[in-house]
Amino acid sequence: MQRLYDFLRRHPTWVDSFWAVVLLGISGVSLTNVNGAAEQRGSLAAALPIAVVLSAVVALRRLMPEKMLVVAAVTGIAQVVLDVPPAPADFAMLVIIYTVAADGARWASRLGLIGGLCAATVGQLRWPLRDEGPLGAVLIVIFQTVPFALAWVLGDSIRTRRAYLAQLEERAARLEKEREAQAKVAVAAERARIARELHDVVAHNVSVMVVQADGAAYVMDAAPEQARKALETISGTGRQALAEMRRLLGVLRTGEHQESGEYVPQPDVEQLDDLIEQCRTSGLPVDFKVEGTPRPLPSGVELTAYRIVQEALTNTRKHGGPNTGASVRLVYFDDGLGLLVEDDGKGAPHELYEEGGADGQGHGLIGMRERVGMVGGTLDAGPRPGGGFRISALLPLKSAH
């Protein structure tokens, strides 16, 4: 049964043709029964072609609704002119009015409505019923007009419903595309965040380990105690890097949550003392000062400030050259947190702070700008007058909850 239903849905013209044949058959039987009276109201030769044409209107209504409406209107006019009285074939008028209201052009829908509302009046004037007074004639016109109005209203309702469903489908498709786009943006943002974290953790800690390893190798024979301390620093730095790497990898494992404290918390400004002490231990003199009144900060600002100082000091070790010193200023304003990191070294190559590092060596500055942008701040990086390099940032503050 379902197959038959699907077949009929795929071939609507076949269904319409079947009902057209039924309508033509009923019309033929009706004409045969009134053959004697047909000579008074119209010839059978005129009535039969009209029934055939109106049946064809039913058969072709979905293929060409506007044309079939015109054909039906012309046929109705011919029926009035030739004095062919209403017959079962006139049911095609209702069908075509419904069709153009549901599927036809707007002009055809309006024309069908006007024609339907006028049909009963024209029919009553052309073939008035006997023994009916004016009031009875009006009631008959109203009664005969109702089917035409209902046919148009039903068709127009179907058109409105289809348009509404199409709008819902379009909206659903658009929302699905928007969700996919948002998911891609979220994935890209998360990848960028992880890349920044990995870069900051690896670049800083590995640079410390490299400096300490070089120093240990240089004084291995002359000062074993200093070499031992350098190796201890390398070991501690490696463990710290490993702990941060575990934290980053832990957030990637969906559904896992560590309560044992194996993963270190997100770094904040309170840990800047440890960071700077680590830099001093690795051989980089750093002057650190805090101005203003320290107060709780949003976690995003805390992490951003820590990573900027970390990356700036890492760049100083990488590009500053020997005998380089650095200074770090942390300033609490009423509406912002200021950071200033300077060194007196030879500075970074021009392409690293202007172009962002096309060779893969400037990802740290790229990460800084991304971090600052995420919290709505500003960052400036470039050579310092008189030599060296300077990084300044202003991070807007919000009340920490």
Contact 48, 109 (CB under 8 A): no
Question: Are residues 213 and 234 in contact, defined by beta-carbon separation less than 8 angstroms?
Answer: yes
Residue 366 confidence (pLDDT): 78
| Token pair belonging to 85 | 């009285």
Residue 23: both structure tokens together: 């309508």
Instruction: Specify which residues 394 forms β-bridges with.
Output: 338, 378
Q: Is the predicted pLDDT of residue 248 greater than 70, yes or no? A: no
d(CA 286, CA 92): 96
The per-residue pLDDT for range 305-341, each reduced to its tens digit, is 888 898 888 888 777 777 888 999 999 988 889 999 9
333 residue type, one letter: F
DSSP H or E stretch at residue 328: strand 326-332
> Is residue 78 over pLDDT 50?
yes
The bridge status of strand 336-343 relative to strand 389-396 is antiparallel
Least confident of 230-239, 250-259, 296-305: 250-259
Domain boundaries, the chain: 2-127, 268-401
Reduced to 3 DSSP states, what percent helix, strand and coil does the chain have, rounded to the nearest 5?
70, 10, 25
Topology of domain 268-401, per CATH? Heat Shock Protein 90 (3.30.565)
Is the Cβ–Cβ distance between 336 and 395 less than 8 Å? yes
Q: Which ranges of 104-133 does DSSP label H, i.e. alpha helix?
A: 106-126
Gyration radius of the chain's alpha carbons: 44
Beta bridge partners of 286: 326
Q: Name the DSSP letter for residue 61.
A: T
pTM for the structure as a whole: 0.52
Q: Which two tokens stand for residue 316?
A: 């100083």
One-letter amino acid for residue 13 of the chain: T
Query: Which residues share a beta bridge with 392?
Result: 340, 380
Distance separating alpha carbons of residues 200 and 202, to the nearest angstrom: 6
d(CA 110, CA 119) in angstroms, rounded, equals 14
379 φ, ψ (degrees, to nearest 5): -140, 140
What are the strands of the beta sheet with 286-291, ordered from one edge?
286-291, 326-332, 336-343, 389-396, 378-383
Residue with tokens 């044409």: 53
- Cα–chain center distance at 155: 34
Rounded to 5°, the CA angle 227-230-231 comes to 90
More confident residue, 208 or 401: 208
pLDDT for 258 beyond 50: no
**Average pLDDT score over residue span 225-249:** 72
**pLDDT digits 0-9 by tens, 331-371:** 998 888 999 999 988 766 655 555 544 334 555 677 788 88
Q: DSSP 3-state assignment of 60?
A: coil
Q: How many residues does the chain have?
A: 401
Residue that has been written with the tokens 């463990």 in this structure? 239
